[in-house]
Amino acid sequence: MKNFQWTEPQTVEQALAWLAKTNGKAVLMAGGTDLFTEIKEGVVAPDLVIDLKSIPGMAAIQGDKDGVRVGALTTVASLAADALIKRDFPGLSQAAESLATPQLRNVGTVGGNLCQRPRCWYYREEQMVCRKKGGSQCFASKGRNKYHAIFGGGICHIVFPSDLAPMLIALDARVTISSPRGDKELPLAEFYALPAKNVRRENVLAQDELIREVKIPLAEKGTRSAYIKLKERETWDFALVSAAVRGTVSGGSLGDSAIVLGGVAPIPWRLKKTEAALKGKKLNEALIKEALRADLQEAQPLEENGYKVPLAEAAVLRALLSLTRTQ
Residue 236 binds ligand FAD (CB under 6 A):
yes
Shortest gap between Cβ of 246 and ligand FAD (angstroms)?
18
- Is 243 within 8 Å of 312 (Cβ atoms)? yes
- Name the strand (E) or helix (H) holding 278: helix 272-278
Radius of gyration (C-alpha) of the chain in whole angstroms: 19
Residue 170 binds ligand FAD (CB under 6 A):
no
Window 58-97: contact mask with ligand FAD (x via CB under 6 A): --------------x---x---------------------
Count interface residues toward ligand FAD (CB under 6 A).
32
| C-beta atoms surrounding 190 within 10 Å | 12
Q: What is the dihedral of CA 4, 41, 100, 262, to 10 degrees?
A: 110
Which one of the spans 29-37, 77-85, 146-154, 243-251 is the region binding ligand FAD (CB under 6 A)?
A: 29-37
Shortest gap between Cβ of 175 and ligand FAD (angstroms)?
9
Identify which of residues 210 and 309 has a Cβ nearer to ligand FAD in the complex. 210
Site for ligand FAD in 101-130 (CB under 6 A): 104, 107-109, 111-113, 115-117
Identify which of residues 206 and 218 has a Cβ nearer to ligand FAD in the complex. 206
- Name the strand (E) or helix (H) holding 315: helix 308-324
CA–CA distances in Å: residue 231 to residues 100, 159, 237, 321: 11, 14, 7, 19
Shortest gap between Cβ of 288 and ligand FAD (angstroms)?
25
Distance of CA 151 to the CA centre of its chain: 16
| C-beta atoms surrounding 74 within 10 Å | 24
Which one of the spans 83-91, 132-140, 160-168, 279-287 is the region binding ligand FAD (CB under 6 A)?
A: 160-168
Q: Identify each DSSP E strand in 104-205 by its residue range.
A: 174-179, 182-187
Shortest gap between Cβ of 64 and ligand FAD (angstroms)?
21
CA gap 28, 15 in Å, rounded: 8
Binding site for ligand FAD (CB under 6 A): 27-35, 37, 52, 72, 76, 99-100, 104, 107-109, 111-113, 115-117, 161-163, 210-211, 236, 238
